[in-house]
Amino acid sequence: MLGIRSSQYPTPNTWKPMDFLYQTVRGVGRFWIWFFFKSVQVRSIQRIPRQGPVLLCVNHPNDLIDSLLVGAVVPRKVRFLAPAALSRNPVLAWVLSALGVIPVYRRQDDPDKMDRNVEAFEACFRAFARGDLVVIYPEGTTHTEPRVQRIKTGAARIALEAEHRHDGRLGLTVIPVGLNFEARKSFQGRVLICAGEPIPLIPHLEVYRSDPWKAVQDLTTEIQRGMEAQVIHVDRIDLTALIRVVETLYRDDLVQELQVERGLSPDRVDPFRLSRTIADAVQYFVTHDPSRVEHLWYRLQVYETLRAEFRLQDRTVRTRLTAPGPGVRLRDLGLGLFGFPVFLYGAVTSGLPYWIPRWLARHWARKETTYATVRFLASVSLFPLFWGMEAWLVGTLTNPGIAGAFLLSLPLTGLLAHRYLSGWARLGQALRFLRLVRTHRGAVRRILTRRRQILEDLERAKQDYLQVRREHLREVGRPGR
């Protein structure tokens, strides 16, 4: 590739502070991430250097939300590679440029401008020479599949050419990053962000000097594997539905088992690790015992059909089987009684800015991957608007001090109202179940029996899978292996 050589680049800086605009946007983004997500767990963030050139290779499951999350958790300024189509609006183009976004041209957006991606590559090379951190989404587009799609070669080409121009002395760090969403479209969902081990470039650089195509392909494969190791990856798309149903039915039981057997508190149980283990186990049995999987899938379909017929959630059926004790029921009753005034307060002050974005996302989002982005952007606009008008009204009726306290109370009471509303939904499901017990006793018995049989099958499969893993670990640990 032709371009500027290393002698024409400035020496990379050490640590550089974030500029005011970036700090402001990042601070606002961090607030809304706190408001919209129940938890954001970050693992191995220390693998991302605080200084020097870095290329983060990130999977892309949730459109704009992905960039907000990465920018919020990485403790230094991030420069994103983003579709040039976003820069067609002059105002947005100015903001993105001021934030350091590097535009790239995609074939589906600008097929006649693909040659201009040379400019994007050169912008990356200049950024690395200054010691910047750049984020690329190697899959090329956002998607809904629980897997890393086959990535494109752009990340490898950029990394190898950048190091090649500096004769291997640039010190570029390539790190795969995985974004895992518990429920992509849900308000107050959980997110896990994992940073993988840095991928060494020097071995590939030696090959790149003599055979660039082979070096790019080899590094692309290594980046792909690194990204897959950081997400809940499902190799076959046709297994996605099966894994989701198994996870819905069985993960809570596994969490409870870990709490009882190992004495772990709920916040110490890693739901994403459990999800990955479930996915790995299902894929193992598909390969080694397909008839067992077919039998389980048949039972799951029968159970799901019965549930859908009577509009019951699995949580409700599970609660009936586990039969919570009187202490839990008294606690829930107390929370229901004392939390009702807070719910009313939060529902009145935050109800409309919560429901309007939800309605807009359902009607305006053209793809499932854009649902969360539409809802997020609408909420970021409407919540401050409604809260500001309400605070102004309170201020005109009382005084600025009371209005300020009222304004500060709105985000927290809005979240509490949402939690309370979820409790009401569970209560409605419980009442529906009790009514079905009286009117369709035989159907209820079949539903409970089906779920109990599925759990027994899953428990036997779990024991068999753990035994296989233990034997594998013993084999690996034997001398001479």
Which of 198-212, 354-368, 374-388, 393-407 is least confident? 354-368
What pLDDT was estimated at residue 474?
Answer: 75
Mean pLDDT, the chain, rounded, equals: 83
Token output for 97 = 């440029």
What pLDDT was estimated at residue 108?
Answer: 60
Which of 38-47, 261-270, 353-362 is least confident? 261-270
Average pLDDT rounded to a whole number, residues 96-112:
74
Token output for 377 = 């952007």
Report d(CA 99, CA 77) in Å as an integer.
Answer: 9
Domain membership flag for residue 319: no
Domain membership flag for residue 205: yes
* pLDDT tier, 6 (very low <50, low <70, confident <90, very high otherwise): very low
145 with 29, same domain: the answer is yes
What pTM does this model have?
0.75
What pLDDT was estimated at residue 9?
Answer: 40
Average pLDDT rounded to a whole number, residues 112-140:
86
Which CATH number fits the domain that encloses residue 108?
A: 3.40.1130.10
Percent of the chain with pLDDT over 90: 33
What pLDDT was estimated at residue 371?
Answer: 85
Q: Which residues contact 369 (CB under 8 A, 6 or more apart)?
A: 61, 62, 63, 142, 143, 144, 184
312 within 8 A of 429, measured Cβ to Cβ: yes
3-state secondary structure of 100: coil
What pLDDT was estimated at residue 8?
Answer: 39
Domain membership flag for residue 321: no
358 with 415, same domain: the answer is yes
Question: With 0-12 CB in 10 A as exposed, 13-18 as middle and 19+ as buried, what is 75?
Answer: exposed
348 with 397, same domain: the answer is yes
Last residue of a domain, one of 200, 228, 256: 228
3-state secondary structure of 146: coil
Average pLDDT rounded to a whole number, residues 454-463:
88
**pLDDT above 90 for 328:** no
276 with 410, same domain: the answer is no
Higher pLDDT, 399 or 477: 399
Token output for 442 = 């035989």
Average pLDDT rounded to a whole number, residues 265-278:
73
Q: What is the DSSP letter of 41?
A: E
Which of 36-50, 66-80, 94-108 is least confident? 94-108
**pLDDT above 60 for 266:** yes
Average pLDDT rounded to a whole number, residues 197-208:
92
348 with 290, same domain: the answer is no
* pLDDT tier, 143 (very low <50, low <70, confident <90, very high otherwise): confident
DSSP 175-240: EEEEEEESSTT-TTEEEEEEE-PPBP-HHHHHHHHH-HHHHHHHHHHHHHHHHHTTS---S-GGGH
Question: With 0-12 CB in 10 A as exposed, 13-18 as middle and 19+ as buried, what is 475?
Answer: exposed
Report d(CA 82, CA 100) in Å as an integer.
Answer: 10
427 with 454, same domain: the answer is no
* Closest CA relative to residue 351, chosen from 343, 363, 361: 343
Domain membership flag for residue 315: no
49 with 153, same domain: the answer is yes
162 within 8 A of 125, measured Cβ to Cβ: yes
Q: What range does the domain containing 28 cover?
A: 6-228
* pLDDT tier, 18 (very low <50, low <70, confident <90, very high otherwise): confident
473 within 8 A of 480, measured Cβ to Cβ: no
Last residue of a domain, one of 228, 245, 279: 228
173 with 291, same domain: the answer is no
Q: How many CB atoms lie within 10 A of CB 270?
A: 16
201 with 247, same domain: the answer is no
Report d(CA 342, CA 417) in Å as an integer.
Answer: 7
Residue 168 phi, psi (nearest 5): 80, 10
Average pLDDT rounded to a whole number, residues 212-227:
95
Percent of the chain with pLDDT over 70: 86
Higher pLDDT, 321 or 231: 231
Which of 210-224, 255-269, 450-464 is least confident? 255-269
416 with 334, same domain: the answer is yes
Query: What does each C-alpha distance from 384 to 29, 34, 469 come to in angstroms?
Result: 13, 15, 52
**pLDDT above 90 for 299:** no
258 with 340, same domain: the answer is no
Domain membership flag for residue 320: no
* pLDDT tier, 10 (very low <50, low <70, confident <90, very high otherwise): very low
What pLDDT was estimated at residue 332?
Answer: 62
Last residue of a domain, one of 176, 198, 228: 228
What pLDDT was estimated at residue 275?
Answer: 78
Higher pLDDT, 214 or 338: 214
Average pLDDT rounded to a whole number, residues 298-306:
86
Number of domains in the chain: 3
Q: Which residues are bridge partners to 82 per DSSP?
A: 103
81: enclosing H helix or E strand: strand 78-83
148 within 8 A of 233, measured Cβ to Cβ: yes
Average pLDDT rounded to a whole number, residues 117-126:
88
How is the chain split among helix, strand and coil, in percent rounded to 5? Answer: 70, 10, 25
Residue 410 phi, psi (nearest 5): -65, -45
Domain membership flag for residue 43: yes
Domain membership flag for residue 253: yes
b/e burial code for range 105-120 (CB count within 10 A of at least 16 → b): beeeebeeeeeebeeb
* pLDDT tier, 17 (very low <50, low <70, confident <90, very high otherwise): confident
Domain membership flag for residue 460: yes
274 with 200, same domain: the answer is no
Average pLDDT rounded to a whole number, residues 289-314:
86
What pLDDT was estimated at residue 7?
Answer: 35
